Structure 1
Amino acid sequence: MKPMVRRRALAPIAALALVVLAWIVLIHSSILQNNAFTFLRGERSKAARSLRFHPVKDSKNGTSYVFMSQIQDTNRTGVPEFFYFNTSASSRVLCFRGNSTRDGTKNLYAFAEQHVPGDALLLPGTTLVSDSHFDFANPWHSMYNLIQFVHWRMDSRCQRSDRMLIFHRGEIRHDLGAWIRSVLDSNGVTTGVDTMRYHPEGRVVCFQRAVVSRRGIGGVSGAVLRDLFEQVRCRTRQWCGVGSGVNDDDTTVRVALVARERGRAFVNLSDWKHAVKLVCEVRPHCQWSVVWFSALDFCSQVKLMSTTDILVSVHGAQLTNMIFMNPGSRILEAFPQGWLQLAGNGQFIYKHLADWAGLGHEGYWRDGGTAKCPMDSSSPGQCFSLHYKNKPVGINSTFIVKWLAEVLSNFSCTARASLTKQECKCSVEPGADDRLS
Structure 2
Amino acid sequence: MRRSTLAQDRIHVESFSKQRSFPTFTHSYSKCCCHCFPLALITFLALLQIGTLIQALKINPALSFSRVFPTSWPSFPHQAHNIIYSLAKTKLHEPVAFFPLIDRRFAKTAMDGNTWFMSSLNDTYEEGETEFLHFPSKESDGRLLCLAGSNPSNGTRNSYALAPPEALPRNAKVLSGLTFVSDTYYDYDNLWHGLSAAAVPFASWHRRKECARPARLVLYHRGELRTRMGPWVATLMKAVFGQEMAIERFEKSEEGPSCFEEAVVFRHNEGSMARERREKVYDMMRCKARAYCGISTDVGGLNAVRLTLLLRRGARSFKDEPAVIRTFGRQCMEVDACQLKVARPNNLTFCDQVKLLSETDILASPHGAQLTNMFFMDKNSSLMEFFPKGWQELAGVGQHVFRWIANYSGMKHQGAWNDPQGDHCPHDDGRRCFSFYKNRQLGYDEAFFANWTARVLNEVKEYKAFKRDAQTQLTQSSCQCS
Letter in 1 for 2:402: Y
CA distance in 1, matches of 2:335, 2:251: 58
**1:237-248 equivalence runs, <5 A:** 237-244=290-297, 246=299, 248=301
* Offset of residue 414 of structure 1: 3.6
Match in the other structure for 2:202: 149
Establish whether residue 322 from structure 1 lines up as the match of residue 401 from structure 2: no
Query: Cα–Cα, structure 1 residues 173 and 45, in superposed 2: closer, same or farther, change >3 Å?
Result: farther
2:108 match: secondary structure: coil
Does 2:394 match 1:345?
A: no
Indicate yes or no: 2:251 matched with 1:197.
yes
Check if 1:59 corresponds to 2:112: no
Q: Provide the C-alpha distance between the structure 1 equivalents of 2:218 and 2:309, rounded to a whole number of angstroms.
A: 37
How far is the alpha carbon of 1:47 from its aligned partner? 6.6
Match of 1:259 among 283, 289, 311: 311
Q: Name the CA shift for 1:260/1:49 in 2 (closer, same or farther; >3 Å).
A: farther
Q: Show the counterpart of 1:369.
A: 421
What residue identity is the alignment partner of 2:208? D
Distance 1:335-1:45 versus aligned 2 partners, 3 A rule: farther
Partner Cα distance (1:46, 1:338) in 2: 62
1:275 to 327, 332, 335: 327
CA distance in 1, matches of 2:417, 2:457: 16
The residue number in structure 1 matching 2:150 is 99
2:168 pairs with 1:116 = yes
SS where residue 236 of structure 1 aligns?
Answer: helix
Q: Which moved more, 1:67-76 or 1:171-180?
A: 67-76
User: What does 1:75-224 align with in structure 2 at a 5 Å threshold?
Assistant: 75-86=125-136, 90=140, 91-113=142-164, 114-146=166-198, 147-188=200-241, 191-200=245-254, 203-224=256-277
The 3-state SS of whatever aligns with 1:57 is coil
- Deviations along 1:376-422, whole A, 9 cap, x unmatched? x2x1101102x100001111011001000011111122456744644
- Which SS does the other structure have where 1:262 is aligned? coil
User: Does residue 397 in structure 1 map to residue 449 in structure 2?
Assistant: no
- Is the contact made by 1:245 and 1:303 (CA closer than 8 Å) also made in structure 2? no
Structure 2 gap ranges (5+): 1-88, 111-115
**Offset at residue 78 of structure 1 (A):** 1.8
Contact 1:327 1:358 in 2 (8 A): yes
1:225 and 2:278 are equivalent in the alignment = yes
Equivalent residue, structure 2, for 1:306: 358
1:15 aligns with none
Q: Call closer, same or farther: CA 1:278–1:329 in 2, change over 3 Å.
A: same
Task: Supply the AA of the counterpart residue of 1:322.
Answer: M
Q: Distance in 1 between matches of 2:311 and 2:93?
A: 55
Alpha carbons 2:154, 2:224 under 8 Å: kept: yes
Please give the secondary structure, in 1, of the residue aligned with 2:286: helix
Q: 1:87 to 1:418 in 2, by over 3 A?
A: farther
Which deviates further from its counterpart, 99-108 or 415-424? 415-424
Equivalences for residues 26-37 of structure 1 within 5 A: none
Secondary structure, counterpart of 2:123 in structure 1: coil
Conserved 8 A contact 1:245-1:306: no
CA contact (8 A) 1:94 1:207 kept: yes
Deviation of 1:206 after TM superposition, in Å, equals 1.0
Tell me, in whole angstroms, the C-alpha distance in 2 between the residues paired with 1:117 and 1:282. Answer: 71
1:84 to partner: Cα distance: 1.2
Specify whether residues 57 and 225 from structure 1 end up closer, same or farther in structure 2 by C-alpha distance, changes over 3 A only. Answer: same
Q: Per-residue deviation at 1:89?
A: 6.5
1:357 to 409, 412, 420: 409
- Amino acid corresponding to residue 480 of structure 2 in structure 1: K
SS in 2 for 1:60: helix
Q: Which residue of 1 aligns with 2:22?
A: none
CA contact (8 A) 2:178 2:263 kept: yes
Report how many residues are paired: 380
- Which residue type is aligned with residue 234 of structure 2? R
> In structure 1, what residue type is equivalent to 2:98?
F
Q: Counterparts of 1:130 and 1:415 in 2: how far apart (Å)?
A: 44
Q: Work out whether 1:286 is the aligned partner of 2:286.
A: no
| SS of residue in 1 equivalent to 2:181 | strand
Aligned partners of 1:245 and 1:307 also within 8 Å:
no
Identity, in percent, stands at 34
Residue 133 and residue 418 in structure 1: after superposition, are their counterparts in 2 closer, same or farther (change >3 A)?
A: farther
Q: Deviations over 1:251-297 (max 9, x none)?
A: 21111111111211111111110110110111111110111111111
Q: Matches of 2:466 and 2:129 in 1, distance apart?
A: 29
The answer to which of 232-241 and 82-91 deviates more is: 82-91
For the structure 1 residues 415 and 360, does the alpha-carbon distance in structure 2 shift closer, same or farther, using more than 3 Å as the test? farther
My pick for the range that moved more, 336-345 or 233-242, is 233-242
1:57 positional shift: 0.7
Give the TM-score normalised by structure 1: 0.83
What one-letter code is carried by the residue in structure 1 that aligns with 2:404? H
Determine the structure 2 residue equivalent to 1:384: 434
Report the AA paired with residue 268 of structure 1.
Answer: D
Amino acid at match of 1:183: L
Partner of 1:3: none
Letter in 2 for 1:161: P
Is this contact kept in 1: 2:171–2:257, CA < 8 A?
Answer: yes
Q: Tell me the alpha carbon deviations over residues 65-101 of structure 1, each in whole angstroms, 9 at most, x when there is no partner.
A: 3211122122443212222112577521110113111
- From the superposition, tell whether residues 335 and 266 of structure 1 become closer, same or farther in structure 2 (CA, over 3 Å): same
CA–CA separation in structure 1 for the residues paired with 2:466 and 2:224: 46
C-alpha distance 247-184 of structure 1, shift in aligned 2 (>3 A): closer
Is the 8 Å Cα contact of residues 167 and 173 (structure 1) preserved in structure 2? yes
CA contact (8 A) 1:243 1:306 kept: no
Aligned 8 A contact 2:291 2:297 in 1: no
Q: In the alignment, residue 424 of structure 1 is paired with which amino acid?
A: C
Instruction: Report what 2:42 is aligned to.
Output: none
- Which residue type is aligned with residue 123 of structure 2? D
1:129 is paired with a residue whose SS is: strand
